[in-house]
Amino acid sequence: MIGSIGSYSTTQAGGAAAFKAASATERVSDASENQGASGTRGGTQTISTLARQLAASSSRAEERDKTLTRSELADKAKSILNHIVGDSYYANKTLHDSEIPNTSDPELLSRAKQATAFVNDASRGGHSIKNPFSGLSREQLSNIIYDESGTYTVNERHAAWRESYDQEEAWREKVAAQAMAEYNSTGKLTNFFSSVLDHFKELPAIEQAQYPKDYATDLQSKIDLDFNYRTHRAEGKDKDPMSLIEMLFEQSTQQTNELPQEPKNTTDSPTVRSNP
């Protein structure tokens, strides 16, 4: 049962955008320190520049999420990820490494250069160059990754993806350790499933769309079941403890009772057949 942990710990415009711009400044300080572009322009200016970009990216993401269905978001995410981290990215690696932002702003030019240096160093297993987007939130990173406006270079978006990936891996390691402790202590994984569901709900819509459609519903059903894998009994609230066999038998009986019944054939009415 513990083996299933891996499968579960796997992938507002207007005033809201202004609010996010303000909150962004609280998280971009670490990123600005990584950019190495202090020069004659102070950290405050660097924070302001990135915060404005993040606010604009947030607004575009919100508009995209309002106009696309869940399946369309999933398709777009797949296409974008192929472009910035998949086969297409590596097939055009030389082009991406030579990409220069369409700006004369020395800080933006420096950040793009650092992003390229970082992704190339990281791809070789190095750790000597800092990610210019280190410390940003998952939502901010997502807004960079899936921003197709040209605000960020492909390597900047690739760097944002690496930071998002690292944060996800750190969370998985933490929640997996908590799951093992929970199982060893209680025989359950209910708190684990709750943590995974909470984490899923906090993900941006375009990232949620990459999960199965019934992902949240399935997790909630496991939480409600409150199953004990040692005693093999469901201990959910508002229900009597039930063994796995009893639970399966009850579900089977309910499904049988819910099947459409074949109408009886009489001399007064024609034979009615249910659809195949």
The pLDDT tens digits of the residues spanning 166-198 come to 999 999 999 999 999 999 999 999 999 999 999
Query: How much is the pLDDT for 212?
Result: 96
Query: How much is the pLDDT for 18?
Result: 36
Closest CA to 42 of 33, 55, 51: 33
pLDDT value at 33 more than 90: no
Closest CA to 49 of 28, 30, 63: 28
Average the pLDDT over 4-19 and give the result: 43
Rg (CA), the chain: 25
* pTM for this prediction: 0.74
Q: Calculate the alpha carbon distances from 236 to 138, 171, 180, 225 in Å.
A: 33, 27, 20, 5
Q: Where are the alpha helices (H) located in 148-268, listed in sequence order?
A: 154-186, 190-202, 205-208, 215-225, 244-258
pLDDT band at 27 (very low <50, low <70, confident <90, very high): low
Token digits for 8? 């579960």
Number of H helices, E strands in the chain: 14, 3
Query: How much is the pLDDT for 189?
Result: 96
* Burial class of residue 152 in the structure, from the number of CB atoms within 10 Å of its CB (0-12 exposed, 13-18 middle, 19+ buried): buried
pLDDT band at 266 (very low <50, low <70, confident <90, very high): very low
What count of other Cβ atoms lies within 10 Å of the Cβ of residue 264?
8
Query: How much is the pLDDT for 31?
Result: 53
pLDDT value at 123 more than 70: yes
Query: How much is the pLDDT for 250?
Result: 52
Closest CA to 153 of 118, 187, 128, 183: 118
Average the pLDDT over 51-80 and give the result: 97
How high is the mean pLDDT of the chain? 80
Closest CA to 165 of 128, 130, 138: 138
All structural domains of the chain with their residue ranges: 12-167, 175-258
Residues across the chain: 276
For the chain, what percent of residues have pLDDT higher than 70?
Answer: 69
